[in-house]
Amino acid sequence: MVKTYYIEMNKILMLLFILSVSVSAFSQRILTLKECYEKAYVTAPVAGEKQAYSDIWKLKDKNLVKGWLPTLDANGSFVYNSSVVDMTDGLGSLPVPGIADHIQAMPHEQYRVTLDINQVIYDGGAIKGARALEKADLNINKQQTEADLYKLREQINRYYFNLLLIDRQKRLLQNYLELLNKRMQSVNSALTSGVILKSDIDVLSSEKIKLEQQLMENDIRKISLLKILSDLTGIDIDDSTQLVIPPAEQKLSDELARPELQLFDLRTEQLDASRKLIQSKRMPRAFGFATLGYGNPPGSNFFKDEFAPYYMVGAGLKWNIFDWNKVKNEKQVLSLQQSIIDSRKSDMTDNLKRLLDAKGAEIESLESMLKTDSALIEIRKRITLTAESQYENGVITATDYLNELNDERQAKINYEIHTINLAMARVEYLNISGKEIE
């Protein structure tokens, strides 16, 4: 009966343990570096500019399209002429009697109210060119925003990998603190039996205080970094969030795809659009017009002294056949601007290539250091085991033992630092080249 009871109790305890582990794993959030990038792109204040630029472009484009619609202008005028055509004197000398009585002098006053209608028939491609230029401006503004957002990656990398390093260091410090506590327990029992001196206890106690101080500093720094990373990404990141080291399987390539380089290409497209718009200035313009009016005299009937409606329709052609080389000069300006863009793009490409070379050398160096770190850790473990045996046998002091223990700990810390730095260097290589993290 007692045996059955213990078996049931063990099953219950095991079930509770599994449930507690499951709940803990479920509550712990996994956060990747790529997710931080994506969230920061949405959270950053500059991210809203892309939609604002799109809205601005839509409004401007609507106005440009309306250039094909007829324009309506209402006009009104009053004119008084001091001298007008008067044919009564000349007609009075004719041999036909009474004809002058039927011809009235032109009125001195003219009253007109008109509605003028103008319609573009052919504009030489001016509206089309203006629309293309506005579209090019939109693409540049959006790409500039993308380039500004891309710069956030440097900040996120710095805080993300510092947090990873802090977690690794904390884990090592906690392990050594546990080891030191166990060692102090055995030393305390040895002290009561008079095997060791009180000074050994003091040495171990001082080392324990140092470890606790480092853990405290570690926690304070982590809280600060978590807050900064939370503000950058808009993610609620706390101490329970597990940050994942980016995988090292992704192939590194020196092919460049930076948003700044794409920005240079878009500026070239903008210059091409400007060139076409300038060329449209040398093309003829055809238009139609109509005038609906009411006045005295009506229209061009100056001999009718009364208010009456009238209308006038027609078409016109306008062609600036000589512009004093203005268009030619504007094209030369665009050519000079294009040369500046090409020069800056080439300079930036060379700088990025040099950065990739330097970062590639750093990656190789860190990979080599990790191999030697692993060998050094194994050696340090053996040295620490020997020192532990010597200390227990009274061959060396507690200080000597702690020195060897700290050397082993430092070797492990160096390994963790190099591991994090290698992951960060690989990510920085991808960022320099403009590639996304897989």
Contacts of 179 (CB under 8 A, 6+ apart): 405
- SS3 of residue 354 by DSSP: helix
Rounded distance between C-alpha atoms, residue 88 and residue 101, angstroms: 8
- Helices and strands in the chain, H and E counts: 11, 6
Global model pTM greater than 0.85: no
Phi, psi of 37 (to 5 degrees): -60, -50
Q: How far apart are CA 43 and CA 37, in angstroms?
A: 10
- Position 9 pLDDT exceeds 70: no
What tens digit of pLDDT does each residue of 228-285 get?
999 999 999 988 899 999 988 888 999 999 999 999 999 999 999 999 999 998 999 9
Q: What is the pLDDT of residue 81?
A: 83
Are the C-beta atoms of residues 166 and 221 closer than 8 Å to each other? yes
pLDDT score of 1: 45
Strand 30-31 to strand 242-243: parallel, antiparallel, or no bridges (unpaired)?
A: parallel
CA-only gyration radius of the chain, Å: 43
Domains and CATH numbers, the chain: 31-69+123-284+319-433 (1.20.1600.10)
Q: Is the pLDDT of residue 429 over 80?
A: yes
- DSSP per-residue string spanning 350-401: HHHHHHHHHHHHHHHHHHHHHHHHHHHHHHHHHHHHHHHHHHHTTSS-HHHH
| Collapsed DSSP state (helix, strand, coil) of residue 122 | strand
> Which band of pLDDT confidence, cut at 50, 70 and 90, is reported for residue 323?
confident
Own/partner long-range contacts of 87-91 (Cβ < 8 Å, ≥24 apart): none
The torsion of the CA quartet 231, 233, 239, 243, rounded to 10 degrees, works out to -150
Angle (deg, nearest 10), helices 398-433 and 198-233: 10
pLDDT in tens, 78-91: 988 887 776 666 55
Residue type, 269: E
Q: Which amino acid is at 282?
A: R
In this prediction, residue 108 carries a pLDDT of: 81
- Of 1 and 199, the structure prediction assigns the larger pLDDT to 199
Q: For residues 308 and 134, is the Cβ–Cβ distance under 8 A?
A: no
Give just the sign of the alpha carbon dihedral 76, 82, 87, 92.
positive
